[in-house]
Structure 1
Amino acid sequence: MKEGIADRMETNRNGYDLTDGDIDIAENSKCALQRHSKRFSYINYRLNTFHNWKPSVNMWPKHLAEAGYILVNGNIIQCYECASILEVGSMHGINDPLEIHHRNSPSCKFIRIQKLKKENEDLRNSFKCFQCRQRHLSYVLIPCSHVACDKCYVTNVCLCRTLVEHRHAVVLIATNIL
């Protein structure tokens, strides 16, 4: 049985050290990354590296590029930010490249930024109307305490099917942080 790169890797602080047979790929790609890392911060440039992609697992280039990876050689991918290297064939059973990236390189700057973007999006959504999920909240509905926008608050029954007895106007002072 042919031994894969993932079977021959040793963990270190940046992801993986490759064996002698694979070190040329890693060194050449690290040099390329140092020259082009700003360019690879754009997803389109990362996606373009997958033009000769021959998938060996159910991973789409778009998802790999969204997770910060570029195609280095064959089915070897590398993060443009932290330079961690993975063999795509070693990802069996996990369909989320971002999760794989986080597991293999939790201190990667790209991963930290993605986590902050998700937290920011969750925060933005927490200020959305409970009923339409489109507009910012304007009212708290009593007794259920759900929030609604200025268009949805006019109904007498909330989405949770509670009879609305009263409405309190809400003013968000810190909306500029969103």
Structure 2
Amino acid sequence: MSSTIKVIFASLSFLSVAEFCWNTLHMNSVADIFIGKHTAGQVVFSDPYRVSPYNRWNSPPLDHNAEAVRNDNALKVEIAELKSKFVERTQALIYGDLHTGSVMVTQESTQVIDPEFAFYGPIGFDVGAFLGNRILAYFAQDGHADAKNDRKVYVSHIFDLFFTFF
């Protein structure tokens, strides 16, 4: 899977690099097809740092942590700077919502589904989102463990996939 995902990242980025391939009119017409930039901007750079109906966490154990994030103004300043870069850098057509739930794998092929969040954005966004999803999965495994399945094999698999990716 990791080699296929690398090819998908490279192909999409290379074939759509905005500065070299397309004019603004073409980019805008493609951008109008998708809802990605607004949605990804909200989900990644806004909702996690405020009260939002889309936020979910294990309550009550993590209520204090969620409140700490919402009240951390220094963090919000850093996030605002990242969001500004996210909005301004239209380097390539990117997937916009790439995570393991968007990747269907069989013995014969790997397919990436749900491209409706695609947009022209920073070329590293998809890689960061995908790897971030893998890191979250790695650290979440203790919460899924039980007496019959300690999740160590799966944790090892996630760890190996992460480092195989590079």
What TM-score comes out, normalization by structure 2 length?
Answer: 0.28
- The structure richer in helix per residue is 2
Greater RCO structure (CA 8 Å; 6+ sep):
2
